[in-house]
Amino acid sequence: MLNGTTAEIVERKALRINPAKTCQPIGAMYAALGIHGCMPHSHGSQGCCSYHRSHLTRHFKEPVMATTSSFTEGASVFGGMANLTQALRNIFSIYSPEIVAVHTTCLSEVIGDDIPTIVRKAQEEGSIPEGKIVIHANTPSFVGSHVYGFSNMVMAMVNYLSEKTGTTRNQVNIIPGFVEPADMREIKRLAAALGADIVMFPDTSNVLDGPLTGQYKMYPEGGATVAQIRSAGDSIATIALGHFAAHVGAATLESKCNVPAAFLELPIGIGATDRFIDTLRNYAGVQVPAAVELERGRLVDLMSDLHQYFHGRRVAVSGDPDQVIALTQLLLELEMKPVYAITGSPGNQFEKRMHELLDGPVPNARIKQTADLFELHQWIKREPVDLLIANTYGKHIARVENLPFVRFGFPILDRTSHRFNPTVGYVGAMNLINQMLNALLDKKDRECAEEWFELVQ
């Protein structure tokens, strides 16, 4: 009964059905949570803030703090200056954050609130205590997607905070992209294993995957500190992981503080992880230790043990552009066939890069940016696939078409693996391979004829 999708494809220009994206502010809120002691602030109606917090909570199963300007009819006519000024005063006096990261919404963008001016006035009036910081990002909901909101807030961190003092620090910046706390934790673990000093921002590990202590902490232990982000201007280099979520921040740092940047893709799969490790090794001037080589060896071993189950399998992938680009490479390393790949986010780099990756091995692959899950479902109806990889919203399609389904990306509202299993790094690839194998074999075990039902695989 959930099958409202028709195989017949009609060109749509005015309509989004079952989106594969959401709006900018939530990305900005997520990025801001990766600053230690930061209160994200939503400059708009209180519904926006409530929706973002609920959505992030459903994904992380963690308290998500953010404040709102609580726009009313008056604010929409006369501007949101009074609301934001009052909000800043209240936030600092009662929640005492180190820093407030303001993001806009469609409403405040359209009425044209000038955030820097409002903040400056608040500062002059004494509404912002000495030593406390306010940064902001413009995140109109009618432009881009949640990924752009993340990227814009990262750019704001650089613009407002990073400084070049002239004394270079022996550290490498890493901008991890819109990934899970578990992924950020894994990136830090790999860097530590290499013995490379890094500054990673944002960093939501220990913020959105905190322990149960019986205490409620408005500002958990984790997050990149303001001092760390400030020091990023003195780093040797920046490694940015993902064109859409991370590259703008690195480019901004390059032009502002002259910190050279390596523009990489997310380290998902063996090749991309190799490139990440190699880049980090080069910048930090360290050797890859035996422990990391062993990890890589175990991944290659796993791939060799299982490659026969993956060869030639037709896969449909939906997700955020950086994730889909990176995951596609892992699928190709396993000689799978990503025949359909979509992202809801706009941006030409997606289709360009995906064609580079797929035109050779999967010449008939359908690739589309600014697409939605309804369209992906239509493609699948016309020519089926063996495996679907998408965020939770893929489950409607998986059920209707009886597809093995691996949950991947944001949001995941109905499973928990993303909370502790990374998808980046060699370990992340093993985790993804494991999930894909389970999905494929579970279906076979459930449905195959008895004579084909095998104990040993």
Tokens 């459930």 -> residue = 446
Which of 37, 46, 288, 444 touches other proteins by CB under 8 A?
Answer: 46
Q: How deeply is 70 buried, as exposed, middle or buried, from its count of CB atoms within 10 A (0-12, 13-18, 19+)?
A: middle
Supply the minimum distance, in Å, between the C-beta of residue 414 and other proteins: 11
- 350-379 binders of other proteins (CB under 8 A): 374
Q: What is the C-alpha to C-alpha distance for residues 379 and 124, in angstroms, rounded to an integer?
A: 57
- The verdict on 123 binding other proteins (CB under 8 A) reads no
Distances (CA, A) of 188 to 279, 307, 384: 15, 29, 39
Q: What is the C-alpha to C-alpha distance for residues 310 and 336, in angstroms, rounded to an integer?
A: 6
Helix (H, G, I), strand (E, B) or coil at 19: strand
Which one of the spans 206-214, 234-242, 301-309, 379-387 is the region binding other proteins (CB under 8 A)?
Answer: 206-214
Please, which residue, 47 or 271, has the CB nearer to other proteins? 47
Supply the minimum distance, in Å, between the C-beta of residue 90 and other proteins: 3
Known active-site residue 106: yes
Supply the minimum distance, in Å, between the C-beta of residue 371 and other proteins: 12
Which of 37, 79, 143, 189 touches other proteins by CB under 8 A?
Answer: 143
- 266-295 binders of other proteins (CB under 8 A): none
Please, which residue, 48 or 424, has the CB nearer to other proteins? 48
Do residues 102 and 68 make contact, with C-beta atoms less than 8 angstroms apart?
no
Q: What is the C-alpha to C-alpha distance for residues 245 and 373, in angstroms, rounded to an integer?
A: 21
Which one of the spans 51-59, 238-246, 268-276, 289-297 is the region binding other proteins (CB under 8 A)?
Answer: 51-59
Distance of CA 84 to the CA centre of its chain: 28
Q: What are phi and psi of 261, to 5 degrees?
A: -125, 145
Q: What is the C-alpha to C-alpha distance for residues 135 and 41, in angstroms, rounded to an integer?
A: 10
- The verdict on 7 binding other proteins (CB under 8 A) reads no
The H or E element containing residue 160 is: helix 146-161
Which of 87, 207, 259, 432 touches other proteins by CB under 8 A?
Answer: 87
- The verdict on 51 binding other proteins (CB under 8 A) reads yes
The footprint of other proteins on this chain (CB under 8 A) covers a number of residues equal to: 82
Residue type, 120: R
Which of 53, 103, 337, 368 touches other proteins by CB under 8 A?
Answer: 53
Binding mask 208-237 for other proteins (x = CB under 8 A): --x-xxxxxxx-------------------
Which of 32, 33, 52, 379 touches other proteins by CB under 8 A?
Answer: 52
Q: What are phi and psi of 317, to 5 degrees?
A: -125, 130
Q: Is the dihedral of CA 92, 94, 99, 102 positive or negative?
A: negative
Which one of the spans 15-23, 159-167, 170-178, 179-187 is the region binding other proteins (CB under 8 A)?
Answer: 15-23
Please, which residue, 28 or 362, has the CB nearer to other proteins? 28
- The verdict on 70 binding other proteins (CB under 8 A) reads yes
Quote the tokens at residue 200.
């990673």
Supply the minimum distance, in Å, between the C-beta of residue 197 and other proteins: 32
Which of 34, 44, 222, 249 touches other proteins by CB under 8 A?
Answer: 44
Q: b or e along 359-392 (b: 16 or more beta carbons within 10 Å of the residue's beta carbon)? A: eeebeebbbbbbbbbbbbbbbbbeeebbbbbbbb
Residue type, 28: A
Which one of the spans 29-37, 88-96, 402-410, 442-450 is the region binding other proteins (CB under 8 A)?
Answer: 88-96
Given 23, 49, 100, 106, which residue is catalytic?
106
- The verdict on 185 binding other proteins (CB under 8 A) reads no
Q: Annotated active-site positions, please?
A: 106, 110
